[in-house]
Each structure stands twice: as structure tokens, then as C-alpha cells.
Amino acid sequence: MIASKLPNVGTTIFTRMSQLAMETGALNLSQGFPDFDGPQALRDALSWHVANGHNQYSPMTGLPALRQQVAAKIQRSYGVRVNVDMEVTITPGATQGIFCAIQAVIHSGDEVIVFDPAYDSYEPSVELAGGRCVHVQLDSQTFTIDFNKLAQALSPRTRMIILNSPHNPSGALISRAELDQLAQLIRDRDIYLISDEVYEHLVFDGVAHASVLAHEELYQRAFVVSSFGKTYHVTGWKTGYVVAPPALSAELRKVHQYVSFCGVTPLQYALADFMAEHPEHIDELPGFYQAKRDLFCDLLAPSRLSFTRVTGTYFQLVDYSQIRPDLNDVEMALWLTREHGVATIPVSVFYQNPPQEQRLVRLCFAKREETLRQAAQKLCGI
């Protein structure tokens, strides 16, 4: 019998719900990916590079041209200069970047604080490094950090805190004031940060994203992770990056080179070209997704679902208490998929101990207008 290193881990809820949507023919608003293609110019650039011989290994740290574009984007977005060679590492997906950062600095017996609801890749990565996750629940209504709870969770074994803003699944944002509060709390402690900022450019209503990259004190102890897939509508390209101070980047790269060695070369060439030629894409992205959010929420207004419009990501949480309060959220997600043709994600799967009274499911609005209208019609008919 195999002695599993992850005995409590099965197939992710995202895979299961997407599979169920496929089996039932339901509209898939569960897994977080667009049902439309990335920019034509980006896809054309990929075809060109594949056809013109850019198909061998790239440098382990990532294609220089792409790392330069990442650094240029960071300077434009946050007014911060990072060293292209020593601080920017391209990885095959943000999840791999998070995994490598955890493996680089977490040792057996270390504790890592995660905020529930938390993305599901964090804890298995910590366990594989021999560490243990300490779960601190965000406020059940606002999904903000309770700093009293965080302070109580800190111990001499605390080695890392994982932040996620904009937050998946809630869409909540961490403010600059909260980053300042965190800096004060851990100033005299030997604690690293992972700041999962894959939705950094999906922030709405004129609000600015507060990146750890722009917080000089916190950045000195941080791995900041982002995703080309989320930003450029190409989640299947599985390409991301990690920005960290030179000493932390060096440790990250020690792990990265033995997990995948490098990212996919022609994808990196295409992204570098597109970023150089279309810097406006990032500026237009908040408005692009805010329009989808607003359309979807307007369409859902007549339904019996209740919600507050998200301030970030491309996910909308909805409360179904007025429809089927007798069902927990996993049962509700299955019922919606099988009986009403809309696949969702239950929020309880992001918790160690989900609030018993919570009745929330997550809907992805990174979809074509036709898809959103069809989904809303089905949901309003319940």
C-alpha cells in the first residue's frame, strides 16, 4: 500500500466541476478561465515564433526579453524598479512559482499562515515541504484580515504568511494601510511572505491595487507572484512569474531549475513581443472585466441570489439562502449543475473549517456576453 505524502488530497473541485459541466452540458462558470481567446496579435506572435525556430530551451530564469518587459510593467504600474537579472523569474504558471517559493524556504516543522478561504494549492505545497499550515479565517462578510486573530496565530515556528490580493474566491482587496499594519506586526520576526497577485490588473471601480512590490519594507522578505495567463486571457499557456529580492530569487531558482528548469520558449517570445507592442492592454483590462461584472450583476438582479459586486478578480460570490438554504454549498453546486445547467464552485472547499451558516457559491464572469446572458437567464428562473 502506498504511504501517500498527501493523504487528504484528491482531485481538485475545479477539475471535478468542469468535468461535471462537460458531462451534463452545463454552462461552466466554475473553473476560472475565459471562454474567449486571447488577443489575436498575441496568438499571431506565438505562431510566428513557433514557425521561426524558437522552440528550444530558454534560459532557466526566463527569456531576457520577457523579464525586461515584466520589469518595465512593474515600473509603469507601481513606480518600482526591479533588477531584471536578479529579481525576475519566469515560471510555468503561477502555481509552480508558489510551489517553488514554499519549497525554497520552508523546512520541516515550520508553520505557514494562510487566510481562509484560501486557494487550494497552498497547503499541499507546504505539507510537501514538511511544514504545517495555520489557518486564520478572514471576516465572513468582508473577507478582510482580522489582525488580532493573525497576531494570536503567530508563533516562534511561523516562517511564512501567504497573502492573496485580489482575493480568490471573494474578490476582496488588501489596502496599503493593511500592508503597513502587517509590516508593523512582523517587523521583528523572521517571517517570509508570498503575495499571490495573479489578478493584480483585475481591480475595479477606479481602485488601485496595493502590491507588495510597492511596499519597500515587506518586499524585502517577499515572493510576489503573478500570471500572464490571467492578464492576457491565455490560462492554458500556464506561464507566470515570481519577483523577489536577489537572495530569495536565488533560493527560488535552485528549486525551479529542478522542477521544470524553464518555461515554454515560444510562449515567452510571444508574450514579450505583445507586451512591448501593446502596453495599453493592461490599462484597458480593468474596464474590460468591470463591464462583464456589471453586465452579469445587472442580469442577476431579478434573481433570488443576493450579492455585493466584487472589487477584483473575475469571480462573483452569490448567496443562495433564499433559494435552497437546506443545501450546503457542495450540494448546491451539484444541484445547480445537474438541474439548472450552470456549474459553480462551492466556497467551503477553500476553508479548513467553513462557517456552517455560509451559503455561498462562486461564479466566473470571464465569459462571452452570450454565455453570461444564458447563465443569468437560467439562474433567474430558479
Q: How confident is the model at residue 159 (pLDDT cuts 50, 70, 90)?
A: very high
- Domain count for the chain, please give it: 2
Give a yes or no: residue 1 inside a domain: no
Residue 14 pLDDT more than 90?
Answer: no
Instruction: Establish if 259 belongs to a structural domain.
Output: yes
- Report yes or no on 169 lying in a domain: yes
- In a domain, residue 6? The reply is no
Shared domain for 304 and 194, answered yes or no, is no
94 in the same domain as 167:
yes
Q: CA 326 → CA 88, 357, 360, distances in Å? A: 49, 11, 13
Residue 9 has what pLDDT? 86
Predicted confidence at residue 251, as pLDDT, reads 98
Range of the domain at 331: 13-31+281-380
**Mean pLDDT, range 34-38, rounded to an integer:** 96
- Are 162 and 311 members of one domain? no
Residue with cell 472585466: 289
Q: With respect to residue 79, please indicate whether it lies within any of the assigned structural domains.
A: yes
Helix (H, G, I), strand (E, B) or coil at 368: coil
The answer on 292 and 274 residing in a single domain is no
Q: What pLDDT digit, counting tens, does each position of 128-137 carry?
A: 999 999 999 9
Residues 201 and 339 in one domain: no
Residue 331, domain CATH: 3.90.1150.10
Q: Is residue 40 part of a domain?
A: no
347-376 per-position pLDDT tens digit: 999 999 999 899 999 999 999 999 999 999
φ, ψ of residue 242 in degrees (nearest 5): -125, 130
Residues 216 and 328 in one domain: no
Question: Is residue 7 reached through a cis peptide bond, with omega within 30 degrees of 0 on the bond before it?
Answer: no
Average pLDDT (4-31) is 90
Would you state the torsion angle of the CA atoms of residues 91, 95, 99, 105, taken in this order, to the nearest 10 degrees?
80
For residue 251, the domain's CATH number is 3.40.640.10
231, 263, 278 — which closes off a domain?
278
| Helical residues (DSSP H) of 278-368, grouped into ranges | 280-300, 329-340
Q: Is residue 5 part of a domain?
A: no
How far apart CA 191 and CA 277 sit, in angstroms, is 39
Q: 224 and 254 share a domain?
A: yes
CA distances from 219 to 80, 176, 207, 357, 377 (A): 11, 13, 21, 37, 45
Q: Are residues 309 and 215 in the same domain?
A: no
Q: Are residues 104 and 253 in the same domain?
A: yes
Model confidence band, residue 281 (pLDDT cutoffs 50, 70, 90): very high
Mean pLDDT of the chain: 97
Q: Which three cell numbers stand for residue 142?
A: 468582508
What are the pLDDT digits (tens) for 291-317? 999 999 999 999 999 999 999 999 999
This prediction's pTM: 0.96
- Answer yes or no: do 224 and 363 share one domain: no
Q: Are residues 89 and 76 in the same domain?
A: yes
Last residue of a domain, one of 257, 278, 299: 278
Q: Do residues 172 and 161 make contact, with C-beta atoms less than 8 angstroms apart?
A: no
pLDDT at 10 over 90: no
Residues 273, 338 within the same domain: no
In a domain, 317, yes or no: yes
Question: Of 243, 278, 313, at which residue does a domain stop?
Answer: 278
The Cα 66–Cα 42 span in angstroms is 13
Residue position matching grid coordinates 514538511:
130
